[in-house]
Amino acid sequence: AESAGDRKHPILLLVKEKMGEIIAAAAFLSKSCTPLDGTADQDEDVVESQDMLRDMRGLETIMEIEQLLLGPLFATVAPHQIRTAAPHVHAVAKALYGVVRKACASNPANQAILREYIPQMTSHLPCDVGAFDANVQVYSSSRQLLEALDNDVFRIQVEAMRTARRAGSVALVIETCSCHAVPVSI
């Protein structure tokens, strides 16, 4: 059955048709940004892959795709209903946010690139597409980014904790209130 999101925007139809290929490409990029031994230690190949994504403007492209996917749906579907109203869009958006999360792990240069996308990522928090986890990686270890946060981010986090009761919400609040266990002043 065709969902409400499918009928509203041509890009959503294309995503539905190419979903498997897009998710496979995102999985490949995520894997290239993940240490082979599963530890948090960044090996040379991982850093090289993360840097390549940045150098090729891959992070910006992913964020533009995220907005193209989720933006049209916001007009017809409540953000918290995207998973059921447009499951293919939800799956692709989640896979792409997974790439962002992996590319930002222990990579301050990539975290800094995503600073301009904070409002967009914040608007995606209620969609449950991985924006929480990506935000945690973007903010982790970056006092400058934490101090630049808009109060709207906190308001959205509190609302998300009330409605979604997700561990990711709590983790994001913890990450955005301190940097290396030192409180962040605003």
**How much is the pTM?**
0.79
Other C-beta atoms lying within 10 Å of the C-beta of residue 40: 8
Gap between the Cα atoms of 18 and 150, Å rounded: 36
pLDDT tens per residue, range 138-152: 776 666 666 666 666
pLDDT of 72 strictly over 70: yes
| CB-CB contact of 40 with 105 (8 Å) | yes
**pLDDT value for 149:** 64
**pLDDT value for 182:** 64
**pLDDT band (50, 70, 90) for residue 6:** very low
| Residue 76 half-sphere exposure toward CB, CA atoms < 13 A | 15
Give the lowest-confidence range in 55-64, 101-110, 171-180: 171-180
Q: What is the mean pLDDT of residues 88-105?
A: 95
